[in-house]
Amino acid sequence: MTLKEINDFCLNSMISHLEIEFIEFNESQVVAKMPVNEKTLQPLGYLCGGASLALAENLGSAGSFFLIDTKKYTVFGMQVSANHIAPVKEGFVYATGKLLHKGKTTHVWDIEIRDDAGKLISAARVTNAIVERK
């Protein structure tokens, strides 16, 4: 898939609702950006940790999706955890996911979310189940 194809595929989903845009991918890394705006802020005006988790999980799931035969298999998030390191109030955040483990039935991704200045905002780990389609 091209970047345009993956971003078009994500239309009308949480990914597009949060305005997440995939900007780079290869077999071991995926990068996306998300605006810090009224859709992703918590009431006090900072990026919501839940939005960061949604970014991380969708990034890891997309990374696994790129690696499988989508006619035979699908991807389901099994586990996501994160540490929120610093607050951010505006601009964009950029998530970079790196593949740690590519097994037959599970993939594990480490994801760093950084602000426009490159400051670490959150660090996450996503584990995906690779499930045969029935």
Q: What does the alpha-carbon distance between residue 72 and residue 132 come to, in Å, rounded to a whole number?
A: 6
Assess whether pLDDT exceeds 90 at residue 61: yes
- Within 8 A by CB and 6+ apart from 3, the residues are 22, 23, 24, 25
Give me the pLDDT at residue 50, please: 97
Is 21 one of the annotated active-site residues of the chain?
A: no
Q: Please tell me which residue, 108 or 27, carries the higher pLDDT value.
A: 108
pLDDT category at 63 given cuts 50, 70, 90 is very high
Give me the pLDDT at residue 3, please: 87
**Domains of the chain, start order:** 3-132 (3.10.129.10)
Q: What does the alpha-carbon distance between residue 132 and residue 99 come to, in Å, rounded to a whole number?
A: 20
pLDDT in tens, 80-113: 999 999 999 999 999 999 999 999 999 999 999 9
Which residue among the candidates 19, 21, 27, 57 is catalytic per the annotation?
57
